[in-house]
Amino acid sequence: MSAGTGDAAAVADAFDGEFADASVEATVDVGSVEATVDVGSVEATVDEAGVDCVVSTHDPPEVDALAVLDRLRDAHPTLPFVLFADASESTVRELYARRGTAFVRRDGDSRCVALAAEVSKLVAPPGPGSPPCDVGQVYRALETSEQGISLLDADGEFVYVNEAYAALYGYDREEMIGSHWSMLYREEDVEWVEEEILPQVEDEGKWRGETVGVRHDNEQFVEDHSLAHTAEGGLVCIARDVTDRKHLRAELDEALDRIRNAFYVLDKAWRFTYVNERAEETLGRDADEILGNSVWEEFPELAGTTIEEKYREAMKRQESVQFEEFYDPHDAWHRIHAYPSETGLSVYFEDITEKRETKAALASERDLRERIIETSPVGICILDEDREFEYMNERAEETLGRTKADLAGYADDIEALEPRNAAGEPLRGETPFERIAETEEPLYDFRVSVVRPDGERVWLSVNGAPLFDDDELTKVLVTLEDVTDTVLAREELESEKERFRRMVEDVEDYAIFMLDPEGCVRSWNAGAERIKGYTEEEVLGEHFSTFYPEEYAEDGLPDRMLAEAAETGRATHEGWRVRKDGTRFWGFVVLTALYGRDGDLDGFTKVTRDITERKRREEQLTELNDLSRDLLKAETADGISDLAVTAAKTILDRPVVRVSLYDAEAGSLEPTAETPEASEATDGGFVSDDGRRFGWDAFVENETKRYDELPNGVASESDLSGGFAVPLGRHGVLAVGATAPGDSAESTVEIAKVLASTVTAALDRTDREREVREHERSLEEKNEALERLNHINEVVRGIDRALVGATTRVEIEEAVCAELADADPYCFVWIGATSGATNEVRPRQWAGMENNYLDEVDHAPGGPEAEQPPAVRALRTRETQTEPNLLTEPPFEPWRQAALSREYRSAVSILLEYAGSLYGVVSVYADDAGVFDEMERQVLDELGDTIAHAINAVESKKALVSDSVVKLEFRLRDPDLVLTRAVSEGGGCFEFEGIVPNEGYGRLFFTVTGMDSEEVTEYIDPAPEVEDLGLVAERGDRYLYEVSLTEQSFTRTLIDHGAVPREIITEDDEVRLVVDLSVDADVRQFVEMMQSQYRDVELVGRRERERPVRTRDSFRAEVSDLLTDRQEEVLRTAYLSGFFETPRDRTGGEIAESLDVSQPTFNSHLRAAQRKLFTLLFEDEF
């Protein structure tokens, strides 16, 4: 039917009849309800009957509602579809994802009412014209319902109750109408309903749960209670008695909880319906968390496992399954029993991890026992009652050399093994098996030897035990251990004991003997007889205290040693012992207790060793140690020698001792210490016929020399029979004389070597300490010198600063004198220079405590050079003169007397000379002697060079810039000059053009005529006076050259001596030279320099001239006279336009354009103007 007629049709799939219930059908206003069981039927019914709504359950695997929905949606996209099921949340989400219409939960007694309401809503005609529902049908449904249904008004009073509801509480229906609902509850529950339940109904529209109802007769029961809110503010109540079901469930839960294993129940949809406590513990989840949920959703890790496979198999076949499975999340093994039914699956499972581990451990233990038996180092056999080998491990077969099959019939052929007993006698009759069988007791370490098939006899240790079955001996367990090595070792030990006994008897270095428990001698060996002097017959039966000094015996030492050895097993003592002849020796004794098998004391062994020599050596080492301490305090070689002699006499017990040390100057050993006996015995020492003292060979060969008799050629007036000499390294020898044979024993020599090593170390130490002291003194002196040098350098730096600012020679000399005189320990400084033909040194400047010294002392040359003042000697010898100490042996020279009277104690005079020019001498006086050492003199010499250079520089500058100069003209004919040589050989003419200073020695420009460039290069370029010859320009027959000067060049020499070259012309073989000197320059000295350095030098002219003074205005006038108007315009425009700035403000092209000329014209005018300007500027310099 179609919805448009007012009737409706509905179809339901796989219902169990509840949808067709009369109450539901009456409640839902539908024309008909059809029930189907599969998808095909649903599709056919929808297509044929004009269905208005489809209701479907969801009970996989029988019914898949979602599959039904998918099939319907293709043909009927808007047909209402209701899912009526106990579906999970994921199923509901899937429903709406596939365009399902509604979902009604299929649980509780009100499920049909809810479904009916939902269907009615979906099939009801839309719009206000729809006819009302049939109230009669609704009423009949309520009245016939098996559930109790009631209606409450807004005040909570009953306005309707059906018969089932009234019967549930034991009232008549009329009694309940108009009554309040609280009549049906306990007082304590009324408050709970009002505060908890009713507010929830108000908020959510419904509530469902269990409450405790009270019947008319006050009987209480448990009810399943549902409440729903009405539009008028009332309530619809549905109630059902679930007391019996509650009791049954409690009993079931109690029964299930008594199950010891983990247990849970799944319904047909794989949802948990029950989980006991053990399952909760095992699964690690609370039952409340998983009840009602799918096992595959709660435990997704089960997917694809054996567990899922077995569960589904059980449900499909409806047959129980049992299996074991390892569950990774729990890291445990589980044994699982699953029992299927029509309603679901009951699962029992237990953790069997521990059981499996125990089982595995038992299996491992069995395997271990088997492997122990098989790999046992002893043979293991089991013999049956017929003495046949029932079992043999591999070790038993190896030990006997036979397999179990080989030993079949052992009882009948025992002789084949050739058994022997511990005494080596053939074993006949009684075997280990027979003894165990006869006694029925274990057998331990039964020794027997047998012969293997290869003929080797082996000894066996046999252990065995009887094996019983119901108190009857049935088998014998036997172990076989090859003890051949042990037996042979024991036999060897017995032989060794016998050999040891014989050895003890023959030992002579140790006294070894036995004592009885009371301490009396029971045995005696050769060593005891040698050390103690008693024969065996003399000492047997004597108490061992006989060998102790009387004071030891009286003190009870022998008895204490016996008691200690008896108590602890051993006693030792080191001390004096007495020989038969009464002499004493220092012995070391070991007393050892001997016990029998019963543990009783049988006696003692006593071992005594004569360690007298060792004791003596220990005392010697102690004394050597004392000597070492004493030597540490000695500071000189003589002190060490005295200590060495004294110690050697005591330690070596030799009276004749001498220490001789090597004297490097004399080249021989000289005695430094000796004992009085040595002095008397040797009467001055052993002296050989070659003059060498006793011990020389030991010293030079660095090897100890022993002399059992005096060496050949060694004379002595004493009774010395020999001796030995021990080298003391590079220092000397220790000589010890022997007055009797044996005095030079090896032990004595060894001790002497140790003593000599100690003395050598002490002598090395004193040498090192002396070297350290000398080094420290040297460092101290160097530090003082360094401080002094720093002070001098500071003075020099002050002078350098003063020289930089000085502009005249006088300023330089004043600054030098002032700075030096102000520096400690200098007290007086003066600068002098020779004057006139007398060469008298006249003071130019001075500073400090002069005190008329210069007036009193005559500095004119004359008389012996040694008596002349230092300044005169310095100028005369051209060398620095130093007087470290003016206070010498009288009589004193006059200048020295004058200096000493003014408390001058040292002096130095330093030349002021630069490049061959002598500018005088500076003399410095100090008030302390020894001030002017080598280092200070070197510094002052360098300072003199600096001062001379500064004077030369100001003189040269003065010659360049002063208004008045001295003009000198020379004629030179020196063939060694490169210019003379080049011109004379090449036939040309050389003419000086000028010098440009630079960082080196300057660049010289010159012109050559009469020679081509190749000739110039040939004659000038190789000369050492010049470098880097270069042709600058070629002007007809004149060639302009540039060359770098060297220190040896002629022009550089002129400049270094303060001269300014003005003209140098070389023609033929003659050089014409014109130079300018400052008016203050020493012309004579300059001329002498020229004549001393060059050959055939003649001064042909000298005159003073005044340089014209050029003012700023006159210079400008000269410039204007030289320049044309156009040149001046171009030059001025370029200057004002920034042409000469960097970078240029305007280019040459731009300026040319502004002047309305071409750029080449502009460049030509500019160069012409610059050339005239530079000519005016530089022409006068040369």
Q: Residues 608-644: pLDDT tens digits? A: 988 887 887 777 777 777 887 887 788 888 888 888 8
- In one-letter notation, the amino acid at residue 59 is D
Assign 520 a pLDDT band (cuts: 50, 70, 90): very high
Alpha-carbon dihedral sign for residues 504, 505, 511, 514? positive
Q: In this predicted structure, what is the pLDDT of residue 691? A: 40
What b/e sequence results for 241-252 when a residue is b if at least 16 CB atoms lie within 10 Å of its CB, and e otherwise? bbeeeeeeeeee
Residue 1033 has pLDDT above 70, yes or no: yes
pLDDT per position as a tens digit, 834-855: 865 567 888 989 999 888 888 8
Contact 288, 307 (CB under 8 A): no
Structure tokens given for 752: 């002497």
Cα–Cα dist 829/1161, whole Å: 67
Residue reference for tokens 């009276």: 655
- For every residue of 228-255, DSSP letters joined together read EE-TTS-EEEEEEE-HHHHHHHHHHHHH
- Of the candidates 12, 136, 20, the one whose C-alpha atom is nearest the C-alpha of residue 83 is 12
List for the chain the helix, strand, coil content (%; round to 5).
Answer: 45, 30, 30
Contact 52, 3 (CB under 8 A): yes
- Of the candidates 116, 114, 165, 169, the one whose C-alpha atom is nearest the C-alpha of residue 143 is 165
Q: In this predicted structure, what is the pLDDT of residue 1070? A: 87
Helix (H/G/I), strand (E/B), else coil: 986:
helix
Residue reference for tokens 């009302």: 132
Under CATH, what is the fold of the domain 631-716+729-738+746-774? Beta-Lactamase (3.30.450)
pLDDT per position as a tens digit, 334-349: 889 988 988 889 898 8
Residue 254 has pLDDT above 80, yes or no: no
- In one-letter notation, the amino acid at residue 826 is Y
pLDDT per position as a tens digit, 358-367: 888 887 877 7
Decide which of 730 and 373 is more confident: 730
- For every residue of 1002-1031, DSSP letters joined together read -EEEEEEESS-HHHHHHHHTT-TTEEEEEE
Structure tokens given for 45: 């019914």
Contact 1020, 1026 (CB under 8 A): yes
Residue 737 has pLDDT above 60, yes or no: yes
Assign 517 a pLDDT band (cuts: 50, 70, 90): very high
Cα–Cα dist 532/542, whole Å: 13
- Of the candidates 287, 253, 295, the one whose C-alpha atom is nearest the C-alpha of residue 271 is 295
Cα–Cα dist 265/288, whole Å: 14
Q: What is the pTM of this model?
A: 0.35
β-sheet bridge partners, residue 1039 = 1008, 1034
What homologous superfamily is domain 508-596 in, according to CATH? PAS domain (3.30.450.20)
Q: In this predicted structure, what is the pLDDT of residue 270? A: 92
Domain with residues 806-959, CATH architecture? 2-Layer Sandwich (3.30)
Residue 157 has pLDDT above 80, yes or no: yes
φ/ψ (deg, to 5) at 69? -60, -45
Q: In this predicted structure, what is the pLDDT of residue 683? A: 47
Q: Where are the beta strands (DSSP E) in 632-752?
A: 657-663, 668-674, 687-688, 705-707, 714-715, 722-727, 732-738
CATH class of 1-132: alpha beta
Q: Is the peptide bond before 870 cis (omega within 30 degrees of 0)?
A: no
CB atoms within 10 A of CB 1041: 21
Eight-class DSSP state of 3:
G
Under CATH, what is the fold of the domain 1112-1181? Arc Repressor Mutant, subunit A (1.10.10)
Contact 1026, 1045 (CB under 8 A): yes
Dihedral (Cα; 992, 993, 994, 998), 10-degree rounding: -100
Residue reference for tokens 């019967």: 167
Cα–Cα dist 91/708, whole Å: 124
First to last CA, the chain: 140
Q: Which residues contact 544 (CB under 8 A, 6 or more apart)?
A: 515, 519, 520, 521, 558, 606
Cα 386–388–389 angle (5° rounding)? Answer: 145
What angle do helix axes 746-805 and 637-651 make, rounded to 10 degrees? Answer: 170
Cα–Cα dist 261/277, whole Å: 9
Contact 722, 708 (CB under 8 A): yes
Cα 114–117–119 angle (5° rounding)? Answer: 110
Q: In this predicted structure, what is the pLDDT of residue 416? A: 56
Q: Which helix (H) or strand (E) covers residue 103, if one does? A: strand 102-105
Under CATH, what is the fold of the domain 146-242? Beta-Lactamase (3.30.450)
Domain spans of the chain, in order of start = 1-132, 146-242, 259-357, 378-488, 508-596, 631-716+729-738+746-774, 806-959, 962-1106, 1112-1181
- Of the candidates 653, 646, 717, the one whose C-alpha atom is nearest the C-alpha of residue 681 is 717
Helix (H/G/I), strand (E/B), else coil: 974:
coil
CATH number assigned to the domain with residue range 378-488, chosen from the 4 options 3.30.450.20, 3.40.50.300, 3.80.30.20, 3.30.390.30: 3.30.450.20
User: Are β-strands 917-926 and 826-835 bridged in parallel, bridged antiparallel, or unpaired?
Assistant: antiparallel
Q: What is the mean pLDDT of residues 577-605?
A: 89
Dihedral (Cα; 1131, 1135, 1139, 1141), 10-degree rounding: 140
Cα–Cα dist 700/1049, whole Å: 65
Write down how long the chain is: 1182
Q: Does domain 259-357 have CATH number 3.40.50.800?
A: no
Q: Do 1-132 and 508-596 come out as alike in CATH topology? A: no
pLDDT per position as a tens digit, 803-834: 777 788 888 888 889 888 888 889 999 999 88
Q: Where are the beta strands (DSSP E) in 633-789?
A: 657-663, 668-674, 687-688, 705-707, 714-715, 722-727, 732-738
β-sheet bridge partners, residue 382 = 391, 477
% residues pLDDT > 90 (the chain): 9
Alpha-carbon dihedral sign for residues 830, 834, 835, 839? positive
Dihedral (Cα; 633, 636, 637, 639), 10-degree rounding: -60
Distances (CA, A) of 479 to 265, 445, 446, 905: 60, 10, 10, 115
Decide which of 677 and 513 is more confident: 513
φ/ψ (deg, to 5) at 441? -130, 155
Q: How far is CA 57 from the centre of its chain?
A: 75
Q: Provide Rg for the chain, Cα atoms.
A: 70
